[in-house]
Structure 1
């Protein structure tokens, strides 16, 4: 069973890493973005669930994997919820900003996992993707906020 979990984890991680950039760069409308996004979401679920299974085999050493898996799954669920529900209480484009931040966080998790694996668990591999990814998300969020229509206050006279 351990080997099956490792294969699922590696395959899901590979698919997620390969699809992250195309999903991020695809025009944000129905079609390519949603199709690639669904496959990416499936890879994210596979990665997270296999992380929990692998954690069960060696909790003392793989606790970081379980934490990253839980966070990633939470970010995915939140990102999908905002994309499907598009709640209006967050402003005209607020749902997009939440979706972008949450799904961007899943990409950071994929890159972090890959970096940690390739570096043998070096601390920089845990921190660098988060710092760089957060800066990219912040820049993209600022652009999205700037594109949002401005509410104009109308002054009334008595």
Structure 2
């Protein structure tokens, strides 16, 4: 069982890392962004669930993996829910800001997991992706907030 979970975890991690940048760079509208986004979401789901499964097998050793897996799963579910529902209570474009922050957080989790694995758990590997990724998300959020709302042409009846 452990071997199956490790393979799922590794394949999900690789595919998520490979898909993250194309999803982030794709124009934010239906089409390419949506298709790539669903593939990325499947990777994040596989990564999160396999992380929790691995933790169940070795809880004392893999508690950090469980925390990262649970957070990633929460951010993923929240990001997808927001994008699908687009709640009016968040304002005209508020859903986009929430989606950006939640899904951006999943990307940080992918990068953190990779960095921690490659450095054998170095503390900087745990902290640097969050510091850098949070700054990038904050910058993109500020750009989204500053965007002028689309004007809808109103024609007299």
TM-score bucket of the superposed structures, by smaller chain:
over 0.9
Residue segments in structure 1 that go unaligned for 5+ positions in a row: 151-158
User: Corresponding residue for 1:30?
Assistant: 30
Check whether the contact 1:51–1:69 (CA below 8 A) recurs between aligned residues: yes
User: Corresponding residue for 2:135?
Assistant: 135
1:58 and 2:58 correspond: yes
Structure 1 residues 90-101: aligned runs within 5 Å:
90-101=90-101
Structure 1 segments, 4+ long, off by >2 Å, are none
Check whether the contact 1:76–1:102 (CA below 8 A) recurs between aligned residues: yes
Task: State TM-score, norm by structure 1.
Answer: 0.93
1:117 and 2:125 correspond: no
CA shift for structure 1 position 31: 0.7
CA shift for structure 1 position 77: 0.4
CA shift for structure 1 position 89: 1.1
Check whether the contact 1:55–1:63 (CA below 8 A) recurs between aligned residues: yes
CA shift for structure 1 position 107: 0.1
1:43 and 2:38 correspond: no
CA shift for structure 1 position 92: 1.1
Distance 2:95 2:82 in 1: 6
CA shift for structure 1 position 28: 0.7
CA shift for structure 1 position 57: 1.6
Residue segments in structure 2 that go unaligned for 5+ positions in a row: 151-157
